[in-house]
Amino acid sequence: MATTKQLVIKVTAGTDAPERCSQAFTVAAVAAASGVEVSLWLTGESAWFALPGRAAEFELPHAAPLPDLIAGVQAGGRITLCTQCAARRGIEEQDVLEGVRIAGAQVFVSEIMAEGVQALVY
């Protein structure tokens, strides 16, 4: 049995559920630092973290700073903002952090159905 080398994480929480949000970003950053190919999807309230400066406003005691976790994911993986989530919040491609793409459910399904992929939802 082959070991999983790709991890797709969908984070649905933001400041509305800070612990769940932080866990998703932490797992993604640790996986990326460990050499795992990571794809982090920002959906729901986490969509706001695709905007410059928003991660710096996030605070959770005893948690790594969100900007550092985002940088860790970007260094070894990809961050995607959900198309519908962006549209509902008035976020457009020119608004997001460098390297963040906007894509929809078809791309997400394609990623999670690939061979050797582990998907997690927070």
pLDDT digits (tens, 9 = 90+) for 10-61: 999 999 999 999 999 999 999 999 999 999 999 999 999 999 999 999 999 9
- Regarding pTM above 0.75, the answer is yes
Task: Tell the residue number behind the tokens 């640790």, with chain if given.
Answer: 30
Q: How far apart are CA 67 and CA 65, in angstroms?
A: 6
More confident residue, 97 or 1: 97
Give the three-class secondary structure for 78: strand
Distance CA 10, CA 43 (A): 7
Cβ atoms within 10 Å of 66's Cβ, excluding its own: 24
Mean pLDDT value across the chain: 95
